[in-house]
Structure 1
Amino acid sequence: MWNRLIKDEKGFTGLEAAIVLVAFVVVAAVFSYVMLGAGFYTTQKSQEVVHTGVAQASSSLAPSGDVIVLGGTDLTPDPDVPGIDAITFYITNTAGGTAVDLDKTIITYTDIDDFKTQAHLETAGVEDGAWTYEGIIESSSGATNLVEKGEKYKIELSLLQVGDADVPANPLGLATKPVVNEKVKIEVKPPEGAVLILERTMPPSITAGQYYTVY
């Protein structure tokens, strides 16, 4: 008698079955929505990481033309030793690269005696920084401080020391100028993207006032 009462499901109507079914469907829908949302969020973050990584790993600058140095004399430790007064090089935008703001770019200079870094001070309101830029090939609609597709800019880095004529107000502050056969490294660090590195060896002989192409 008792067993028949326990197993008797005559009171379980269709309405109750529908309520239970709806409850299951709602729970499954909510769970699916949460899982899909988490999946979409993870996919979006993965895409952002990949795009950021590509932007940081790829460079938007490339050398364009020769690296030219201007001969002079070193002030320390011997004023008669031939040295280099300035380095001039040219840059352009890589294929598919984003525009580079030279106003926010930093240049680092390294040789056997020195390791110096300087931003473009003139655009920060400070007069006569150690390096300047000039557009050689510019687009008609582009900003003068942006290296964009098809453009070419000249960068001139002064290595003058305090005591030289026409020394910039904010020189790099080198201990010594690079001399014959000395290796130097210039790093152009844009606000975004990989660093452009130029490594060159100074000429085997230097005469004041003469220009040399270095490799």
Structure 2
Amino acid sequence: MSGLFSVIHDEEAFTGLEAAVILIAFVVVAAVFSYALLGSGFYATEKARQVTSDAGTTPSSVMVAGSVILKTDAFSNPESLSFFCEVIGGEAAISGIHYSLHTTGMIYQVPDTDLQLRWPSGGSAEGLLSRGELLSVRLTITDAGLSTGDDFTLTIIPPRGVPVNIPCTVPGTLLGNKRYEVG
């Protein structure tokens, strides 16, 4: 009888050990869960701080006012694109606006050396395009490789805000030293 009593006594101790392991597992799971909740809280707090600090600035977007005009050279090759830009929203630094042409076969980033800007209303001394102002833009595209019948997209990328895509098509027949509305 004494052997049976010692086996029961050992099982009670083993049950206590199992309970302790389960309790420790619950504590570890609770610690990991609380760490995840605190991390989420810190992330949400940081995002809320960013949103409130950026609330005073308005993102700007640049759009084309009117049509995009293609000019050909004396040999009937596409030479330049001309159009007027205006800003929607806040101001945009004109030095931060970038232009590119996209076709199915290539992306041509217009270099700053092939960019001519003119202020029809006399100009902005600060180099900013503000609401209500127009900026005349001329892009030299002789290196873009466009030819008759090509579809392309003119993309205007402001320093802050949403890029603008203007679908354009080179006419099927081009004459030398002429202008064509393409977009």
Fold conserved between structures, TM > 0.5: yes
Unaligned runs of 5+ in 2: 1-40
Aligned-pair Cα RMSD in Å: 3.2
Tell me what 1:62 maps to.
Answer: 63
Q: CA deviation at 1:87?
A: 0.6
Equivalent pairs counted in the alignment come to 142
Instruction: Output the CA distance in 1 between the equivalents of 2:65 and 2:156.
Output: 14
Tell me what 1:151 maps to.
Answer: 133
Instruction: Output the CA distance in 1 between the equivalents of 2:102 and 2:52.
Output: 32
Instruction: Output the CA distance in 2 between the equivalents of 1:147 and 1:137.
Output: 12
**In the alignment, residue 101 of structure 1 is paired with which amino acid?**
A
Instruction: Output the CA distance in 2 between the equivalents of 1:63 and 1:69.
Output: 14
Instruction: Output the CA distance in 2 between the equivalents of 1:51 and 1:119.
Output: 34
Q: CA deviation at 1:51?
A: 7.7
Change (3 A) 1:118 1:206: closer
Larger fraction in helix:
2
Q: CA deviation at 1:102?
A: 1.2
Tell me what 1:85 maps to.
Answer: 79
In the alignment, is the contact (CA less than 8 A) between 1:105 and 1:119 conserved in 2? no
Instruction: Output the CA distance in 2 between the equivalents of 1:194 and 1:211.
Output: 29
Instruction: Output the CA distance in 2 between the equivalents of 1:46 and 1:143.
Output: 36
1:1-57 Cα shifts (integer Å, max 9, x gaps): xxxxxxxxxxxxxxxxxxxxxxxxxxxxxxxxxxxxx89x92x7326348859x79x
Identity score, percent:
16
Q: TM-score, normalised by structure 1?
A: 0.56
Matched, 1:98 2:90: yes
**Equivalent residues in 2 for 1:110-121, closer than 5 Å:** 110-118=102-110, 120=112
Tell me what 2:20 maps to.
Answer: none
Change (3 A) 1:114 1:83: farther
Instruction: Output the CA distance in 2 between the equivalents of 1:50 and 1:115.
Output: 37
